[in-house]
Structure 1
């Protein structure tokens, strides 16, 4: 598998691009953690309400239990305390629910903050890198064999601009059919360089046929 080009300029751009993507991902994740922390601050009042109401409810029930043993009127005195304790429990439940809603919102918001920019970038960058890796890996395998050189030359005839081909031969297709090795290797070298790869040997482009 060929991950990076042979030519220094293109290889440097690819490495810089990969590092930039990693930095983008790291920044997105860091920003998501900050958003989560800031949003979770909204849950603090709910937690405080839950804690205070729960404590109040426990104290009211304890007070009700303390007067419940008073002869004759104990039950009547304890009833308001127990009722107030139940109301405090309801308030504690409301505070807990509020905190849970904020927690859920903070979680999904932080995921969105991280995932959306990461997915947008990777959806554009990864196909480009994979296209290079597939093409370069194939070309590396082809440049090691004579038949592969022929295929690269044919690909150059198909893909390269006419201006480039005319700089190699007046009739590149005819020279390819005739097996002109000088032209074939020049064509293959052009195709390899276009992919950011170096040919196995230095190839001298052809001069026009006499």
Structure 2
């Protein structure tokens, strides 16, 4: 894999800055993921209560139904006892349904609140970071591709003349513009190297 495929600078200072920014973004994302998980866990407790109510109420309803069935054999009062027991079983089923609804709603709400809490701060940092990293990768790819051809080196040298500080330009040649116009190969390579370094690429051409 050549360096053009790696989305990092090869100049030490810029590479250090990129690594620090990566660490900061990762730590930031992890912090808010933990916050989101904490919110989810807190709301999920309500869902667990609903689940427990559902299970318990269903058990009571089953027991009441079984007791109602057994009262058939009781002489004289069997039917009288069966009616209240069945009614109580139906009430227990209503409670079980309410517990199920609470479980379902709280489980859904736990994820919604977790995403609502964690997503905005994560996206606020991650989106600019991704944009800057993609822009750097594209600039690096373009610069390395241009440096591979003589015409591309001339274009990089011209950009250096337009964008780099005068002190750096004269460090390449006392008359950088004249050297570029006269197609001085050494000066063009030096100017192109300045532009590459500005793009985060430490490369001799």
| TM-score > 0.5, shorter chain as reference | yes
Structure 1 counterpart of 2:183: 179
The question of 1:14 aligning with 2:18 is answered yes
Q: How does 1:18-97 map to 2 (within 5 A)?
A: 18-71=22-75, 73-97=77-101
Measured on the aligned residues, the alpha-carbon RMSD in Å equals 2.4
Structure 2 unaligned regions, length at least 5: none
Shift of 1:4: 1.7
Structure 1 unaligned regions, length at least 5: 202-210
Structure 1 counterpart of 2:110: 106
Structure 1 counterpart of 2:160: 156
Cα deviation, 1:84-125, whole Å, max 9, x if unaligned, reads 110110011111211211111001122233333222222110
| Larger helix proportion of the pair | 2
Q: How does 1:110-129 map to 2 (within 5 A)?
A: 110-129=114-133
Cα gap change, 1:157 to 1:198, in 2 (>3 Å):
same
TM-score w.r.t. structure 2 length?
0.84
Contact 1:5 1:11 in 2 (8 A): yes
Structure 2 counterpart of 1:207: none
Number of positions where the alignment pairs a residue of Structure 1 with one of Structure 2 = 201
Cα deviation, 1:138-165, whole Å, max 9, x if unaligned, reads 2223223322221110122333356654
Out of 3, 15, 24, the position equivalent to 2:7 is: 3
CA–CA distance in structure 1, aligned partners of residues 203 and 150 of structure 2: 12
CA–CA distance in structure 2, aligned partners of residues 142 and 2 of structure 1: 17
TM-score w.r.t. structure 1 length?
0.82
